[in-house]
Amino acid sequence: MPRVTDPTAPHIALVGATGVVGTTLLRLIEERGFRYRGLDLVASARSAGREVTVEGHSCRVQDVDGFDFAGVDIAFFSAGAGVSRTFVPKAVAQGALVIDNTSAFRMDPGTPLVVPQVNAHVLGTRPESGVVANPNCSTIPLVRLLRPVQERWGIRQVVVSTYQAASGAGYSGVEELRAGARSVLDDPDSAGVTGTFSPSLAFDVIPSIDRLLDDGFTFEEQKMLQESRKILELPHLDVTTTCVRVPVANSHSEAAWIECHEPVDRGELVRLLAGQDEVTVHDLDTVGAFPTPRTAGDPNRVHVGRVRVAAHNPRGFWLWIVADNVRIGAALNALQIAEELTRRGAL
Amino acid sequence: MPRVTDPTAPHIALVGATGVVGTTLLRLIEERGFRYRGLDLVASARSAGREVTVEGHSCRVQDVDGFDFAGVDIAFFSAGAGVSRTFVPKAVAQGALVIDNTSAFRMDPGTPLVVPQVNAHVLGTRPESGVVANPNCSTIPLVRLLRPVQERWGIRQVVVSTYQAASGAGYSGVEELRAGARSVLDDPDSAGVTGTFSPSLAFDVIPSIDRLLDDGFTFEEQKMLQESRKILELPHLDVTTTCVRVPVANSHSEAAWIECHEPVDRGELVRLLAGQDEVTVHDLDTVGAFPTPRTAGDPNRVHVGRVRVAAHNPRGFWLWIVADNVRIGAALNALQIAEELTRRGAL
C-alpha cells in the first residue's frame, strides 16, 4: 500500500484530482507504490465535494480556493494554467514543492522543466522558484528520443507533424468526440458536436491546438520548439511542428523527420533507441512494424516504429512515435519527477 | 446533356464504373457537361451485370473480361493496378487512349504522368504508350502547390506527413470505418472491424498505406517522391513522406514543410498560392484559418491554410493542405486530362 506511516514519506496534494491527469496520477501512485504519508485531493469549485475512492477508502475532494497547503510536501497541479497561475504561488509560499503539469511556469528561468529520462540532473537541489514544470505532452516522448540522437549524430533540424488524441482536452474532449461520432454515424451530414473542439472532431482532423500566436504558429507548436530547447539545453535547436488533433480517444502520435549532421545507420539507430529507458522499438526485428494509439501496448512506454533512413539523404530519418499523452505525456512524467526528487532527498 | 450526337465527340468507357472513383467520374461528367458520343460502363466480374442510372437512363455494367474496346476513344481505368496491368494493353491495342488512375504505368517512361494544372504541356500529342497516367491522390494537390514555389524560390526539401481518408481504399474502406466506429462506441475495448485496414481504423491512426518496400518506406511514400519528380521534371527533388491513414471518411490532408533556397515572404507566398487555378487559401485574409476534410467547402478545389514561415528559418514554411482525394486526387484530375486532350485534339 502506498500510504505509509513513515514520517520521511511526503504528504502530497493533487490539485485537479478529478480531471483525466489527476485520476491517472492517483492510479499510477497505486500502481507504482509511490509512498506517501498523507494525501489531499483538491479541485476547482466545480468538482469540490465529490467523493473519490483511494486505496479502498472514500476521500472528499476539497476546493482549491481556501485550501491550506501548509504541511504539504509535494503539490501536483493539473487543473489548467489559470488555476496554476493563481494558486501555485500560494502553495509555494506555504512550503510545498509544486510539480506543475500546465504551461504556466515552464519557460520561467527559475523553474526546471524536467523529463526524468533526459535531464534528471537538474533536480539535484530544490528549485529556486519552488516549482518543477512538467513539459507538454507531445514534447516529452520526442525529447526522450532526440537526446541520444543528438549525442550520437548531432541534430540539424527536426520537422514534426502530430496526431493528437481527444484526451489532451480532458474527459470532456473524449466525451465530445464520442457524442459527435454517434451523431455523424446516424446522419453523415451532421455537423457533429462542437464545444471543446471546433469544428467537431468526429471523423475530421483539426490542425489547430491551443491559441494562435502572432507569428501564425499555435501555442502548442511554439511549446514543442521552446520546451525541447530548454529540456535538451540546446538553445538553437531547430524544431518545427504542425500540431493536429485527430479523432482518437487517447495516445498521441508523431511523425518526426530528423536531419542530422552526419549520415545515420539504421541498425545502429534502432539499437540506440531500443536501449533507452522505457522505450519499445516495434521494428527492431520486424521491418515496417509500427505501434498505433489503440494497439501500441504498455502505456508506460514510448513506442517507436517505421524507423527509416532516406535513401537520397542518409543524414535524415523518420520515426513514428506513439505515447500515452495522459501517462507518458503528463501524469507518469510528473510522478517520475516526484520519485526522482524523493530519491535525491531534494524536497 | 453531356451525351451528344456530334461525331467528333469521343466514345468513352469507364472501367471500374461501380467503384468510388468510377461513380464520381460519372457524376463529374454530368456536372461539368463533358461531351461524349457513346458511353460504356465496365467493371470486374464481381460488379458486372449491375444497372447504373446515367442521365436518367439505366445502363448495364459490362464485364471487363471480354469487353471489346474497338470504337472506344477514351478508356478511363480505375479498377486497381491488377486490372489495369491485364486489360490496358488490350484497350490500347484496340485503339483506345487510356487514362489510367492506378499506379500500373505511372513510372513507365513512355507514359506521361499528368496533373493538368502543372504539366498539361506534355499532352500535345498522343502518348507513345497510348496511356496517360493519373498520379497518386496525395501527390496531385502537393505538386499543384510546389510548382509555383519552385519557380519563385527554388525548393531544397519537402517533408510531408499525410492524414489520408478511408475512401482512398474505396467504398469498402468507408463502410469498414463506420462499422468499426459503431463497434468501438458500443464497447470501447472492441478491436473494431478489420479487413481493408489492419488494425481497425476506428478511432485509430495507421502509419502504413500500400505495401512495404525493402528500404522501409511504403509504396505510397515512394510514389509521392517518384511521381513528384516526374510531374515537376525535377529528377533530384527531395520529397520525403510519412503516409498515415486517419479515421476520416473522405478528403486527404497533408502537413507539408517546404524548405526553399531563399527566404520566403508570407504575404507574397499566400498571394502566389491563391493565384493558382482552383486553389483556395483559407488564411489569405484571416491568419490561422484552416480547412478540414469535413468543412473545407468546394470539393473541386485544393484547400490551403496555416501558411506560416518559421521565424528561426525564413527559408522554410508550412502548408496545411486538404483536397478531396476522390475528386482532386483521382476522378476530377482524370476528367481534366480528358478535357485537355479533347481541347488539344490529341486523341
Give the total residue count for chain A: 347
CB atoms within 10 A of CB B129: 18
Nearest to B294 by CA among B145, B193, B176, B165: B165
Partner residue opposite B311 with nearest CB, options A215, A246, A253: A215
* Cell 508523431 found at: A254
pLDDT in tens, B172-190: 999 999 999 999 999 999 9
**How many Cβ atoms from other residues are within 10 Å of residue B64's Cβ?**
24
Residue of A nearest to B218 (CA): A288
Which residue of B163, B177, B205 to mutate against A (max A Cβ within 10 Å)?
B205
Closest chain A residue to B240, measured at CA: A310
Cross-chain CB nearest to A240 (options B242, B266, B316): B316
Distance from CA of B191 to the nearest CA of A (A): 8
What are the CA-CA distances from residue B164 to residues A205, A271, A290, B114, B299 (Å)? 10, 31, 17, 21, 15
**pLDDT at res. A216:** 94
Nearest to A298 by CA among A262, A267, A322, A264: A322
Q: pLDDT at position A3, please?
A: 87
Per DSSP, chain A holds a count of helices (H) and strands (E) of 8, 14
At the top level of CATH, the class of B11-135+329-344 is alpha beta
Please tell me the distance in Å from A301's CA to the nearest CA on chain B.
18
Q: How many CB atoms lie within 10 A of CB B147?
A: 21
> What pLDDT does residue A346 have?
77
Instruction: Name the CATH topology of A139-164+209-325.
Output: Dihydrodipicolinate Reductase; domain 2 (3.30.360)
Q: Least CB-CB distance to B287: which of A216, A244, A266?
A: A216
H, E, C per residue of chain B:
CCECCCCCCCEEEEECCCCHHHHHHHHHHHHCCCCECEEEEEECCCCCCCEEEECCEEEECEECCCCCCCCCCEEEECCCHHHHHHHHHHHHHCCCEEEECCCCCCCCCCCCECCHHHHHHHHCCCCCCCEEECCCCCHHHHHHHHHHHHHHHCEEEEEEEEEECHHHHHHHHHHHHHHHHHHHHHCCCCCCCCCCCCCCCCCCCECCCCCECCCCCEHHHHHHHHHHHHHHCCCCCCEEEECCECCCCCCEEEEEEEEECCCCCHHHHHHHHHCCCCEEECCCCCCCCCCCCCCCCCCCCEEEEEEEEECCEEEEEEEEEEECCCHHHHHHHHHHHHHHHHHHCCC
Give the Cα separation of A99 and A133 in Å (integer). Answer: 6
- The three-state secondary structure class of A279 is strand
Got the DSSP string for A81-105?
A: HHHHHHHHHHHHHTTPEEEE-SSSS
In this prediction, the residues of chain A whose per-residue pLDDT falls under 50 are none
| Contact (CB<8Å) B207/A320 | yes
Domain boundaries, chain A: 11-135+329-344, 139-164+209-325
The region, left, alpha or beta by phi > 0 then psi within -120 to 50, assigned to residue A279 is beta
- Tell me whether residues B287 and A178 touch, CB distance under 8 A: no
Of B257, B294, B308, the CB nearest to A215: B308
From the list B322, B342, B216, the residue with the least C-alpha distance to A287 is B216
Cβ distance of B307 and A253 shorter than 8 Å: no
Residue of A238, A290, A306 best to disrupt the B interface, most CBs of B under 10 A: A306
Amino acid of residue B147 = R
Which residues of B are less than 8 Å from A313 in CB distance?
Answer: 157, 238, 240
SS3 A21: helix
Active site positions of A, annotated: 137, 252
Q: Name the helix (H) or strand (E) containing A30.
A: helix A20-32
Q: End-to-end distance of chain A based on CA atoms, in angstroms?
A: 22
Contact criterion met (CB < 8 Å) for B311 and A207: no
The reported pLDDT for the residue numbered A247 is 98
Q: Would you give per-residue pLDDT tens digits along chain B (347 residues)?
A: 688 988 899 999 999 999 999 999 999 999 999 999 999 999 999 999 999 999 889 999 999 999 999 999 999 999 999 999 999 999 999 999 999 999 999 999 999 999 999 999 999 889 989 999 999 999 999 999 999 999 999 999 999 999 999 999 999 999 999 999 999 999 999 999 999 999 999 999 999 999 999 999 999 999 999 999 999 999 999 999 999 999 999 999 999 999 999 999 999 999 999 999 999 999 988 888 999 999 999 999 999 999 999 888 899 999 999 999 999 999 999 999 999 999 988 77
Substitution target in B201, B210, B240, B285 with the highest count of A β-carbons within 10 Å is: B240
CA atoms within 13 Å, Cβ hemisphere of B13: 27
| B227-259: pLDDT as tens digits | 999 999 999 999 999 999 999 999 999 999 999
Cell of A140: 516529452
Segment A144-198, tens digit of pLDDT: 999 999 999 999 999 999 999 999 999 999 999 999 999 999 999 999 999 999 9
A99-118 b/e (C-beta count within 10 Å ≥ 16 → b):
bbbbbbbbeeeebbbbbbbb
Q: Give me the pLDDT at residue A331, please.
A: 98
Question: Do residue B205 and residue A181 have CB atoms under 8 angstroms apart?
Answer: no
pLDDT at A321: 98
- Is B246 within 8 Å of A207 when comparing Cβ atoms? no
**pLDDT score for A308:** 96
Q: What is the pLDDT of residue B1?
A: 61
Asked if A318 and A256 count as a contact pair (C-beta separation under 8 A), the reply is yes
Residues on chain B touching A311 (C-beta within 8 angstroms): 215
Contacts of B164 (CB under 8 A, 6+ apart): B137, B138, B209, B243, B244, B245, B246, B252, B253, B325
Cβ neighbours of residue B170 under 8 Å, at least 6 residues apart?
B19, B20, B196
Residue B288 · residue A216 · CB < 8 Å: yes
C-alpha cell, B37: 458520343
Angstrom distance (rounded) from CA B79 to CA B28: 18
Cα separation of B210 and A130, whole Å? 52
Distances (CA, A) of A203 to A222, A332, B178, B253, B290: 26, 29, 10, 13, 16
What was the pLDDT predicted at A1? 61
Q: Do B313 and A204 touch (CB under 8 A)?
A: no
> Is A85 annotated to bind ligand?
no
Q: Which long-range contacts (CB under 8 A, 24 or more apart) does A110-113 make?
A: A113/A227, A113/A230, A113/A231
Residues of A in contact with B307 (CB under 8 A): 216
Closest CA to A120 of A280, A343, A288, A276: A343
Q: What is the pLDDT of residue B272?
A: 98
**A305: which chain B residues are within 8 Å (Cβ-Cβ)?**
207
On whether A60 is known to bind a ligand per the annotation, the reply is no
Pairing of the two strands A38-43 and A51-54: unpaired
Does A247 contact B247 at a Cβ distance shorter than 8 Å?
A: yes
